[in-house]
Amino acid sequence: MDETVKLFVISVAAELSGMHPQTLRQYDRLGLVVPERTAGHSRRYSMRDIVQLREVRRLSEQGVSLEGIRRILDLENEVHALRDRCTKLERALDEALEFRPGGRVFAAGAEEGSVVRLSLHRRRIAPGNMLVRWSPRGADRD
């Protein structure tokens, strides 16, 4: 399940987070945990929102001020967004490296005449076999 899908109405979110619905409304007004609104203006919370509400409750019980909690949540949200972006960039880089000219690696398969595509920088060598990797600068032999 996608943790960002807005599924829960305020009563369910309050129960899952261990808070009163009025507390969730107050946190919404303060901008701590802001749920998405439907066309009818009712609040919808995601699982990620529920986790943040639990974190707000935990930090509040430990004596952290609401402004301190807001700053912590802002930093956690920034880290989460940066991790998502990093993951997307890593995927894009992997694709760019895999499909660049001269970047594909092939080997002879076990069956006569078959060819096996290998991941870049990974070699699969069966005992007694020889793998030849072609590169634009020449052939490397192992």
DSSP H helices, 39-136, are: 47-61, 66-99
pLDDT score at 94:
83
Domain boundaries of the chain, sorted by first residue: 10-98, 105-141
Higher-pLDDT residue of 33 and 106 is 33
Residue 49, number of CB atoms within 10 A of its CB: 26
Banded pLDDT at 142 (limits 50, 70, 90): very low
Q: Mention the CATH class of domain 10-98.
A: mainly alpha
Residue whose pair of structure tokens reads 């807005």 in the numeric block: 6
pLDDT tens digits, one per residue of 42-77: 999 999 999 999 999 999 999 999 999 999 999 999
